[in-house]
Amino acid sequence: MGDGKTRAHPLKPAAPLPYVDHFGLSPSDLRAVLSLALSSGGEFAEIFMEHSTYDFINMEEDIIKETAEAVGLGLGIRVVRGDRTGFGYTNDLSMDKVRKTAQTAAAIARGKAAHPLMPPPLRDRTSRASRYLVRRPADKASLAEKIGLVREAYDAARFFDPRIVKVKVHHSDSLVHICIANSEGLLVRDTRPMVKLACVAISEDGGKRESGYWGSGGRVGLEFFRDVRAPREIGEEAAREAIVLLGAVDPPAGEMPIVLAPGHSGVLIHEAVGHLLEADFNRKKTSIFWNKMGKRIGSDLVTIYDDPTIPSYRGSYNIDDEGTAPRRTLLIERGVVRGLLQDKLSARLMGGAALTGHGRRQDYSHWPIPRMSNTYIAPGVDAPDDILRSVRKGFYVASLSGGQVEDSGKFTFSVSLGYLIEDGQMTAPVKQATLIGTNIDILQKIDRVGGDLAFGLQTGTCSKDGQDVPVTDGCPTLRIAGMTVGGRS
Q: Which of residues 230-269 bind another protein (CB under 8 A)?
A: 250-251, 253-255
Among 12, 17, 35, 60, binds another protein (CB under 8 A): 60
3-state secondary structure of 233: helix
Residue 395 and residue 485 in contact, taking contact as beta carbons nearer than 8 Å: yes
Among 89, 317, 376, 419, binds another protein (CB under 8 A): 89
Closest contact distance (angstroms) between CB of 6 and another protein is 6
Q: Which is nearer to another protein, 430 or 453 (CB)?
A: 430
Stretch that binds another protein, among 120-128, 160-168, 191-199, 303-311 (CB under 8 A): 160-168
Q: Which of residues 37-56 bind another protein (CB under 8 A)?
A: 51, 56
Strand blocks (E) in 268-358? 304-306, 329-333, 336-337
Which amino acid, residue 281? F
Phi and psi, residue 454, nearest 5°:
-145, 160
Site residue total, another protein (CB under 8 A): 89
Name, in order, each residue with C-beta under 8 angstroms of 169's C-beta and a sequence gap of 6 or more. 58, 59, 60, 150, 153, 154, 157, 197, 198, 199, 200, 235
Q: Which is nearer to another protein, 44 or 411 (CB)?
A: 411
The reply to whether 26 sits near another protein by the rule CB under 8 A is: no
The reply to whether 64 sits near another protein by the rule CB under 8 A is: yes
Closest contact distance (angstroms) between CB of 83 and another protein is 7
Stretch that binds another protein, among 232-240, 380-388, 406-414, 417-425 (CB under 8 A): 406-414
Residue 399 and residue 417 in contact, taking contact as beta carbons nearer than 8 Å: yes
Among 161, 184, 333, 406, binds another protein (CB under 8 A): 406
The reply to whether 9 sits near another protein by the rule CB under 8 A is: yes
Residue 361 and residue 467 in contact, taking contact as beta carbons nearer than 8 Å: yes
Name, in order, each residue with C-beta under 8 angstroms of 431's C-beta and a sequence gap of 6 or more. 210, 245, 248, 249, 250, 251, 416, 417, 418
Name, in order, each residue with C-beta under 8 angstroms of 3's C-beta and a sequence gap of 6 or more. none
Stretch that binds another protein, among 307-315, 385-393, 445-453, 478-486 (CB under 8 A): 478-486
3-state secondary structure of 36: helix
Distance CA 136, CA 150 (A): 17
Closest contact distance (angstroms) between CB of 406 and another protein is 6
Q: What x/- string results for residues 409 through 438 when contact with another protein is judged by CB under 8 A?
A: -xxxxx----------------xxxxxxxx
Q: Which of residues 98-137 bind another protein (CB under 8 A)?
A: 101, 104, 107-108
Rg (CA), the chain: 24
Q: Which of residues 188-207 bind another protein (CB under 8 A)?
A: 200, 202, 204
